[in-house]
């Protein structure tokens, strides 16, 4: 959800500790010139795939685009030799969770995941078509996360060309609702992650001053709705007989301002307010909604308690407030095993001249890495193609020159993790 997810707060980057930059020695022995050249040769095919993906308008719950995307991805996985299953998303979510499985000759089980949905509504393609300008390729959802989908498909194509079989199972998962919190697909994500030894997630990679970044943590996300009920009356002749829910809503917004505390890795922002029926009527109902983010699973309960406490400190006692808190995506925090896999990736990346480091600061957004991490298995986030301006309509893009080295990174990382190296 980022939706969101890799919106790095560049104003604070000077305070970020970039750790674990490899000196390039650990994996230099394993450099494959053949794989490097194949990754470079694969770039035109990746651009073609990106064009095909962008041209399928797959906004979350799009009744046309999401099924079309599912069919497309099923065909692509089958062409790679995968056994494909489809599981309908739950909770009224449109589309299926597409799962492809490749069987190896023995080794560790690796899971690769990316989401097929975007934040863009149908019709956005007309404003944000696929186009190439210099070293950038643009399109609605091209970085978040169609670039991740393409990276998975073509990394597997490279491994197939090398007849790589030294793994237990490679499981690929594409879900249709990450931008809405994966509420209809998270059970599948958790199940597949629990059956795997390591999970690689393909949200877009970030970059700052030439160094590409892994994230060490993402935020948990919750949705808050407060329905405030009072009493209507005529605003001119009998306003004192009414109970103004908009007044209570305004006070609620003010008395919860201190919940937003970056030092405690909390973010709390009221984002929508709806109320009133006419300019001359005291509103009997006002609904306010908020975005709530937190750093660790154990932080949510005290965060909720603090919010409920403030809700009860009403300005107008005659009002009633119904508070609903819906958990969306849990937070992701890199474990020592996750960091070991990141270290391996950073070392691999130097083989093709890339620079990777760990962003030692929590990003403001959430991702499916949080659902996968509930399994207790190591998760690496941010392996998608390098891009920027996510969710920004016609400005979203992927960096073309970075495509070959990102493919090399994925293929080599999958290979090493699959062999247990």
For residue 31, what is the domain's CATH number?
Answer: 3.40.630.10
- Average pLDDT on 158-165 reads 97
Same domain as 235, residue 212? no
CB-count exposure of residue 237 (10 Å: 0-12, 13-18, 19+): exposed
Instruction: Read off the tokens for 355.
Output: 């620079």
209 classed as catalytic: no
Total number of domains in the chain:
2
pLDDT at residue 333 greater than cutoff 80: yes
Residue 1 belongs to a domain: no
pLDDT at residue 20 greater than cutoff 70: no
Residue 4 belongs to a domain: no
**Residue ranges making up the domain that contains 264:** 221-327
Q: With pLDDT > 90 as the criterion, what percentage of the chain qualifies? A: 87
Same domain as 397, residue 257? no
pLDDT at residue 253 greater than cutoff 80: yes
57, 62, 96, 117: the catalytic one is 117
User: Which CATH number does the domain housing residue 282 bear?
Assistant: 3.30.70.360
Same domain as 176, residue 107? yes
Query: What is the SS3 assignment for the chain?
Result: CCCCCCCCCHHHHHHCCEECCCCCCCCHHHCCHHHHHHHHHCHHHHHHHHHHHHCCCCECCCCCHHHHHHHHHHHHHHHCCCEEEEEECCCCCCCEEEEEEEECCCCCCEEEEEECCECCCCCHHHCCCCEEECCEEECCCHHHHHHHHHHHHHHHHHHHHCCCCCCCEEEEEEECCHHHCCCCCHHHHHHHHHCCCEEEECCCEEEECCEEEEECEECEEEEEEEEEECECCECCCCHHHCECHHHHHHHHHHHCHHHCEHHHCEEEEEEEEEECCCCCECCCEEEEEEEEEECCHHHHHHHHHHHHHHHCCCCCCCCEEEEEEEECCCCEECCHHHHHHHHHHHHHHHCCCCCEEEECCCCCCCCCHHHHHCCCCCEEECCCCEEECCCCHHHCEEEHHHHHHHHHHHHHHHHHHHHCC
Residue 210 belongs to a domain: yes
Give dist(CA 249, CA 275) in Å, integer.
9
CB 404 within 8 A of CB 42: yes
- Average pLDDT on 14-30 reads 43
The pLDDT value recorded for residue 389 is 83
Contacts of residue 99, Cβ cutoff 8 Å, sequence gap at least 6: 84, 85, 86, 87, 171, 172, 173, 174, 188, 192
- Average pLDDT on 136-155 reads 97
Same domain as 178, residue 43? yes
CB-count exposure of residue 313 (10 Å: 0-12, 13-18, 19+): exposed
Same domain as 82, residue 14? yes
Same domain as 91, residue 48? yes
The pLDDT value recorded for residue 3 is 40
Same domain as 120, residue 213? yes
Query: Of 42-51, 316-325, 362-371, which gets the smallest average pLDDT?
Result: 362-371
Q: How far is CA 21 from CA 211, 215, 343, in A?
A: 10, 13, 8
Q: pLDDT tens for residues 111-143?
A: 999 999 999 999 999 999 999 999 999 999 999
117 classed as catalytic: yes
- Average pLDDT on 255-269 reads 96
Domain endpoint, select from 327, 342, 359: 327
51, 74, 177, 178: the catalytic one is 178
The pLDDT value recorded for residue 1 is 57
Mean pLDDT value across the chain? 92
pLDDT at residue 4 greater than cutoff 90: no
pLDDT at residue 374 greater than cutoff 50: yes
Query: Of 4-18, 65-79, 204-218, 321-335, which gets the smallest average pLDDT?
Result: 4-18
Domain endpoint, select from 298, 327, 356: 327
CB 198 within 8 A of CB 372: no
Give the Cβ contact number of residue 134 at 10 Å: 9
Tokens 């659902």 -> residue: 371
Give dist(CA 399, CA 147) in Å, integer.
10
pLDDT at residue 22 greater than cutoff 70: no
């Amino acid at each position: 959800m980022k939706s969101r997810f890799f919106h790095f707060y560049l104003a604070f980057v000077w305070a970020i500790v970039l750790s674990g930059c490899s000196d390039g020695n650990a994996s230099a022995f394993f450099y494959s010139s053949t794989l490097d050249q194949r990754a470079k040769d694969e770039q035109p095919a990746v651009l073609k795939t990106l064009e095909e993906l962008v041209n399928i308008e797959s906004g979350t719950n799009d009744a046309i685009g999401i099924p079309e995307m599912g069919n497309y991805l099923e065909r692509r996985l089958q062409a790679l030799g995968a056994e494909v299953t489809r599981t309908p998303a739950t909770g009224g979510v449109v589309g299926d969770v597409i799962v492809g499985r490749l069987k190896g000759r023995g080794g560790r089980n690796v899971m690769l995941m990316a989401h097929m949905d975007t934040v863009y509504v149908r019709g956005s393609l007309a404003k944000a078509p696929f186009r190439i300008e210099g070293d950038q390729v643009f399109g609605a959802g091209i970085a978040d996360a169609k670039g991740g989908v393409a990276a998975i498909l073509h990394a597997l194509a490279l491994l197939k060309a090398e007849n790589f079989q030294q793994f237990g199972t490679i499981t690929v998962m594409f879900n249709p609702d990450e931008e809405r919190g994966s509420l209809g697909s998270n059970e599948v994500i958790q199940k597949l992650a629990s059956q795997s030894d390591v999970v690689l997630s393909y949200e877009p990679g970030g970059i700052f001053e030439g160094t590409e970044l892994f994230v060490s943590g993402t935020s948990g996300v919750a949705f808050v709705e407060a329905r405030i009920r009072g009493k209507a009356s005529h605003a001119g002749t009998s306003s004192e007989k009414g109970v103004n829910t908009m007044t209570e809503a305004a006070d609620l917004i003010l008395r919860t301002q201190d919940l937003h505390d970056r030092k405690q890795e909390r973010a709390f922002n009221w984002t929508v307010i709806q109320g009133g029926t006419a300019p001359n009527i005291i509103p009997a109902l006002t609904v306010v909604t908020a975005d709530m983010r937190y750093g660790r699973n154990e932080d949510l309960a005290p965060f909720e308690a603090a919010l409920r406490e403030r809700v009860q400190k009403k300005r107008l006692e005659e009002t009633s407030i119904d508070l609903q808190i819906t958990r969306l995506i849990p937070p992701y925090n890199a474990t020592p095993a996750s960091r070991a896999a990141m270290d391996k990736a950073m070392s691999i990346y130097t083989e093709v001249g890339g620079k990777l480091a760990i962003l030692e600061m929590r990003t403001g957004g959430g991702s499916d890495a949080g659902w996968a991490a509930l399994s207790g298995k190591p998760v690496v986030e941010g392996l998608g193609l390098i891009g920027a301006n996510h969710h920004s309509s016609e400005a979203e893009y992927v960096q073309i020159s970075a495509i070959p080295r990102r493919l090399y990174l994925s293929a080599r990382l999958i290979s090493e993790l699959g062999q247990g190296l």
